[in-house]
Amino acid sequence: MTVIDIHCHTAGIGAGDSGCFISPKLRRSWKYPIYLKSFGVTNTELEREGDCLVLRRLSERLAASSRVQAAVVLAMDGVVDSRGILDRERTEMYIPNDFLARECRQHPNLLFGASVNPLRPDALERLDAAAAAGAVLVKWLPSIQGTDPADRRLVPYYRRLAELGLPLLTHTGLEESFTRADNTLADPARLRLPLEEGVTVIAAHCATSGRSHGEENLARLLPLFAEFPSLYADISALTQVNRLGHLPRVLQHREIHGRLLYGTDMPLPATGLTSPWFHLFRLGPVEARRLAAIGNPWDQDVELKLALGMPEEILFRTARVLKIDQHQKHS
């Protein structure tokens, strides 16, 4: 059966007329060279070969995995101003849909995950275009993009998502990868509105970090699973050093095992943030050494999560939720 990583990132600096950009502030951040290295590229290479190089390297590394066959690569729409126009000053990273859709078509193991800020005046048309271009889901980062999932102005957007059959993968919990974030917008309780409108919602990182209104975000997410059969959560990033114990904590809730989807938050596993040695207490030295010797980041991620108690069936659920034909991209 096909194993799909539902949560994989790319990046770009605008090389090769990609339309991507990274803000000067983020490029000055200590995180920027780490991200470049984790993608397996240098600034010089990007300027010479174009941002498509990131996708090529990602595809090649994924093709070398023995455990994961495909990954959903996520676009990133930006912040928009009061007129609904892209606000470059407040946008830290931008990856346009048309660039990503075109590049994913070049790589059979990469699936196109679109991103459309719902506050754009032509948001519905952009959703239609993304679906026509082969998008398998739509990704939001509310705390970065400045969107409130509970805003009733978004009801037409949610209804279009439901009509198109496009799931909404949206960040829940603290956001720590950018230089600024409004984490009040990542409160999982705000997802009630899209769920009520019939959208398949995937809570990224299973809301395992942070608190909202004095309550842990995971505790605010859990009751929604019982109420809405169309709610899922991904387990990406849950083995990072800043999230130690998060995966076992989620897995304690056996009632949601059937709603968990496999994801990595790649390239973060390639930065060393998910080293098995961070889990030495749970794994023991022999198992930690075995896992640390696995070179491919996807293979190591799968094996580490299995060792920490992830049921194997979680690996195979994404293809069904996204309605991906098992032979569609991998025959």
Q: How confident is the model at residue 76 (pLDDT cuts 50, 70, 90)?
A: very high
pLDDT for residue 1:
78
Please, are residues 324 and 111 in contact by the beta-carbon 8 Å criterion? yes
pLDDT for residue 219:
96
Q: How confident is the model at residue 26 (pLDDT cuts 50, 70, 90)?
A: confident
Question: For residue 125, which amino acid is it?
Answer: E
Average pLDDT of the chain to the nearest whole number: 93
For residue 319, the number of C-alpha atoms closer than 13 Å in the C-beta half-sphere is 17
pLDDT for residue 325:
65
Does the pLDDT value for residue 301 go beyond 50?
Answer: yes
pLDDT, greater one: 269 or 121: 121
pLDDT for residue 179:
63
pLDDT for residue 327:
41
Mean pLDDT, residues 228-255? 95
Summarize pLDDT for 141-194 with one digit per residue, the tens: 999 899 999 999 999 999 999 999 999 999 998 777 676 778 889 999 999 999
pLDDT for residue 269:
85
Longest Cα–Cα distance in the chain? 58
Q: How confident is the model at residue 329 (pLDDT cuts 50, 70, 90)?
A: very low
Does the pLDDT value for residue 330 go beyond 50?
Answer: no
Burial classification of residue 108, based on how many CB atoms lie within 10 Å of its CB (0-12 exposed, 13-18 middle, 19 or more buried): middle
Q: Tell me the C-alpha to C-alpha distance, in Å, between residue 166 and each of 128, 162, 175.
A: 10, 6, 24
Mean pLDDT, residues 282-286? 96
Q: What are the structural domains of the chain?
A: 4-321 (3.20.20.140)
Mean pLDDT, residues 29-54? 88
Does the pLDDT value for residue 328 go beyond 60?
Answer: no
pLDDT for residue 64:
97
Residue 5's closest CA among 55, 68, 59? 68
pLDDT, greater one: 90 or 151: 151
pLDDT, greater one: 264 or 176: 264
pLDDT for residue 324:
79
Does the pLDDT value for residue 211 go beyond 50?
Answer: yes
Most confident of 21-30, 151-160, 238-247: 151-160
Percent over 90 (pLDDT), the chain: 78
Q: What's the predicted TM-score (pTM) here?
A: 0.94
